[in-house]
A and B are shown apart, each in its own frame.
Chain A
Amino acid sequence: MVEILIMLAAGITGAAFLLALGRFVLGPSRFDRVVAFDVLTVIAITFIVLAALLENRGIYLDAALVYALLSFLGVIAIARYLEGRF
């Protein structure tokens, strides 16, 4: 029962991932692509948590934490670069 609910959540999250990926590919401006990248990384964190539940391995959560940190730093760095600060 719980497995079915987790798989359903993974399927809906996969649909969201595809929509955000569509904006990443279409995106008319650079900023649209950066926003899509931000959303894609947050969705990927959800995927990692779902994978940890399905495999029953708590160590995957550390990967999710590091991924959240790296995506935040990446978005900030890209935004500063687009602003022309360095």
Chain B
Amino acid sequence: MEAIMDIIGGLLMVGGACFLLFGGLGLIRMPDIYNRIQAGSKTTTLGTLLTLAGAACLQPAWGWKLLLIGIFLIFTNPVSAQVLASTAHRRGAHQSPLTEVDRLAEDREGKA
């Protein structure tokens, strides 16, 4: 039983590391800042959560502490990504020429 849990935990950790790798790849490949935020924050949240789940499978005694770190990441990662995106938009960061819809700019024009 313990051996099965060890294998499951190790595979979960390798999967989470693969998600982190895709996040780094998206960070390099994406054309502008908003796409990079999207690639960076989503994949790293899932990758780190999978790694924490794998660690909990390997060491069940650490479960509560790992759960605490996971909940903290779930709450803080989207907040920092959203604050960064809104700051970048307000300071007029470079947008990819492929951008077609910019609802935030339309909203601000409507209010002004």
Binding site for B on A (CB under 8 A): 1-2, 4-6, 8-13, 15-20, 22-23, 28-29, 31-32, 34-36, 38-39, 42-43, 45-46, 49-50, 52-53, 58, 61-62, 64-65, 68-69, 72, 75-76, 79-80, 82-84
Would you call B33 and A31 a contact (CB within 8 A)? Answer: yes
- Interface of chain A: mostly helix, strand, loop or mixed: helix
CB-CB under 8 A from A16, the residues of chain B are 17, 20-21, 23-25
User: Are B68 and A39 in touch, CB under 8 angstroms?
Assistant: no
Interface footprint category on B:
35 or more
The reply to whether B66 and A49 form a contact with Cβ atoms under 8 Å apart is yes
Given A34-B84, A53-B58, A79-B80, 18 further pairs, Cβ under 8 A: A5-B10, A6-B13, A9-B10, A9-B16, A9-B51, A11-B17, A12-B21, A23-B24, A23-B28, A29-B93, A31-B88, A35-B40, A39-B40, A46-B17, A49-B51, A49-B55, A52-B55, A53-B59
Query: Which of chain A's residues have a CB closer than 8 A to the CB of B25?
Result: 16, 19
Residues of B near A84 (CB, < 8 A) are: 91
Given contacts A49-B51, A64-B69, A65-B69, contact A23 B27 (CB under 8 A): yes
Which partner residue on chain B sits nearest A5 by CB separation?
Answer: B10
Report the minimum CB–CB distance from B68 to chain A (whole Å): 6
Known: A12-B18, A46-B20. A20 touches B27 (CB 8 A): yes
Q: Which residue of B lies closest to A72 (CB)?
A: B76
Question: Is B77 an interface residue, CB under 8 A from the partner?
Answer: yes
Contact in complex: A49, B28 (CB < 8 Å) = no
Which residues on the A side are within 8 Å of B13 (C-beta)? 5-6, 9, 50
Closest beta carbon of chain B to A67's beta carbon, Å: 10
